Amino acid sequence: MTDSFKNLVQSETPVLIDFWATWCGPCRAMAPVLDALKADLGDRVRIIKIDVDKNTELAVEMKVLGVPTFMVYKKGVQYWSEAGTFTKESLKKVVESIEKQ
């Protein structure tokens, strides 16, 4: 895990990582969902998008087998990881449950 990635996920605030690719239709479909989630939660969540084609070593190290893959960290601990598309409501529930950790 790179130092910059480790630093990103050390936050007291939940950090939602979006492993995505420019050629991935479902990834592009998630962009407005993530925008809506950020609008709802504001500073209660950090959303970081990581392009797997530009960060292949990190994607391999993090065992990203398909895109989009989402992970949620808090204080450097991974609490959740799942591939696929999600509704704003389902992602919000995940983030809110991790907020309480």
Active-site amino acid positions? 24, 27
Rounded to 10°, the helix 88-99/25-41 angle is 50
- 87: Cβ–Cβ under 8 A, 6 or more apart, which residues? 33
At residue 31, φ and ψ (nearest 5 deg) are: -55, -50
Task: Specify the amino acid at residue 4.
Answer: S
